[in-house]
């Protein structure tokens, strides 16, 4: 009898203190980001004894096959960080669970920016909870431009003139990528937005890539590319930042350079400046690529889902949100109204040092757009178009194969039409 009682007590104890494990896949690989995430997870786990959040770090290069394979093997994470086009791809597996109720509740509490949540809202549901925004701008070395008597460029012609004037003596006027990469997709898309070619799809979902505005943007890119280092044909984000920090290029189009500039140069913070992407003199519009990274929930288990929702809500609380964002200061921008005022964000030493630059980035984020997510509708073609980096392949057709901008854009139109699943 006593044995039975002990057994019952042990089982009851086990149930009472059972922990629900919540596995989180994110792609923030740098060690200091992983460390910051772990600090936040530890604090959450301590405050929520019934949940045990575990982070598993992946990388953007591999995550598509890994996540698809995990879903197939039914070992997918409970939370998977995402960007808009990856969400479209993952939705096709049927594993992504709607988070509409959670998103509405968090929106009431914190106020999501429209540009952050819209790309995840379609088919009557919200498919991921926005977590942080990223915006591209034109970063430049203020001292270099000042020495050359050049004002920060605000138009395409000024940008070209500046890039030409700054090229020489082993230095290149600007660093823009020509690689087949997401980075090149993003940089060329800035020029497409400012040229008025931000829509890749028509309302009915047909591809409208081949149009005069797109050609104009690619012509500009081709002209500008002649002032970029030859090896920029193989650049990804880190290469551009390294070239900038090494003084090889005084201007780059990038999400942020703050951490690299601060750590790898002895220059004062004022020497790093940022402006919005220059616009064409005629018929141009202000704009830049902006998108939010978000978190999908892939579990159907009630306890795990509850744990996942509580963890995401915890990250968006202003007291913790600033610490979450400053895992990479000056790169991750708030996607909530109260997050923009969070003391934990603005008190970070790097954000204090580069406060003016961060404010410019936040302002730029209000003019943001993302390819494939501009018409209020989401079409399945954006998955393969984005995954193939087709925009950057069009750039390569110009700068490597030697096609004219018109021919390259026509090539891109055909490839995008062929990308239909």
User: Given the rule CB under 8 A, which residues bind other proteins?
Assistant: 64-65, 68-69, 71-72, 89, 92-94, 170, 178-181, 229-234, 239, 242-243, 246, 248, 383-384, 387-389, 393, 396-397, 400-401, 419, 421
- Residue 320 or 396: the one with the smaller Cβ distance to other proteins is 396
Residue 407 C-beta: closest distance to other proteins, Å: 13
Asked whether the CA dihedral 261, 62, 413, 402 is positive or negative, the reply is positive
- Residue 90 or 342: the one with the smaller Cβ distance to other proteins is 90
Residue 392 C-beta: closest distance to other proteins, Å: 9
- Residue 89 or 320: the one with the smaller Cβ distance to other proteins is 89
- Residue 331 or 398: the one with the smaller Cβ distance to other proteins is 398
49 token code pair:
């004894």
Give the residues across from 130 on adjacent strands: 294
Residue 278 per-residue DSSP state: P
How many Å apart are CA 98 and CA 117, to the nearest integer? 13
Residue 31 C-beta: closest distance to other proteins, Å: 16
Strand order in the sheet with 137-141: 251-254, 137-141, 272-275
- Residue 229 or 330: the one with the smaller Cβ distance to other proteins is 229
3-state class (DSSP) for residue 99: coil
Residue 73 C-beta: closest distance to other proteins, Å: 9
How many Å apart are CA 141 and CA 268, to the nearest integer? 11
| Distance of alpha carbon 338 from the chain centroid | 20
How many Å apart are CA 41 and CA 54, to the nearest integer? 8
Both ends of the chain: CA-CA distance in Å? 65
Residue 376 φ/ψ region, left for φ over 0, alpha for ψ in the -120 to 50 degree band, beta for the rest: left
Residue 200 C-beta: closest distance to other proteins, Å: 17
- Residue 27 or 41: the one with the smaller Cβ distance to other proteins is 27
- Residue 260 or 357: the one with the smaller Cβ distance to other proteins is 260
How many Å apart are CA 344 and CA 311, to the nearest integer? 18
Residue 174 C-beta: closest distance to other proteins, Å: 14
396 token code pair:
């390569």
Residue 180 C-beta: closest distance to other proteins, Å: 4
């Amino acid at each position: 009898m006593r044995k039975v009682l002990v057994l019952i007590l042990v089982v009851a104890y086990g149930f009472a203190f059972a922990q629900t494990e919540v596995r989180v896949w994110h792609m923030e690989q740098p060690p200091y980001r992983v460390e910051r995430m772990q600090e936040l997870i530890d604090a959450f786990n301590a405050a929520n004894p019934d949940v045990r959040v575990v982070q598993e770090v992946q990388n953007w290069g591999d995550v598509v096959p890994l996540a698809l394979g995990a879903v197939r093997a039914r070992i997918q994470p409970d939370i998977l960080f995402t960007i808009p086009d990856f969400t479209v791809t993952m939705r096709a597996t049927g594993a992504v669970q709607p988070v509409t109720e959670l998103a509405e509740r968090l929106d009431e509490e914190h106020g999501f920016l429209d540009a952050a949540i819209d790309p995840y809202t379609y088919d009557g549901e919200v498919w991921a909870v926005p977590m942080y925004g990223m915006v591209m701008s034109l970063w430049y070395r203020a001292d270099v431009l000042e020495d050359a008597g050049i004002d920060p460029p605000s138009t395409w012609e000024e940008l070209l003139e500046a890039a030409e004037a700054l090229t020489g003596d082993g230095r290149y006027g600007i660093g823009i990528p020509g690689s087949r990469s997401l980075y090149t997709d993003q940089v060329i898309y800035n020029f497409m937005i400012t040229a008025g070619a931000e829509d890749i799809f028509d309302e009915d979902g047909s591809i409208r890539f081949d149009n005069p505005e797109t050609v104009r943007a690619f012509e500009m890119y081709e002209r500008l590319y002649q002032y970029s280092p030859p090896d920029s044909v193989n650049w990804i984000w880190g290469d551009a930042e390294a070239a900038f920090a090494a003084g090889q290029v005084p201007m780059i189009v990038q999400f942020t350079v703050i951490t690299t500039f601060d750590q790898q140069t002895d220059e004062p913070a004022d020497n790093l400046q940022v402006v919005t992407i220059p616009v064409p003199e005629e018929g141009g519009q202000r704009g830049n690529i902006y998108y939010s990274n978000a978190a999908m929930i892939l579990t159907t288990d009630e306890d795990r889902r509850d744990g996942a929702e509580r963890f995401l809500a915890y990250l968006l609380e202003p007291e913790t949100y600033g610490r979450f964002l400053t895992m990479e200061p000056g790169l991750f921008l708030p996607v909530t109204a109260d997050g923009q005022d969070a003391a934990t964000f603005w008190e970070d030493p790097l954000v204090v040092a580069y406060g003016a630059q961060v404010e410019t980035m936040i302002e730029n984020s209000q003019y943001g757009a993302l390819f494939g997510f501009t018409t209020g509708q989401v079409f399945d073609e954006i998955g393969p178009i984005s995954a193939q980096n087709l925009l950057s392949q069009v750039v390569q057709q110009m700068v490597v194969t030697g096609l004219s901008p018109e021919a390259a854009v026509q090539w891109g139109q055909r490839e995008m039409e062929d990308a239909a699943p």
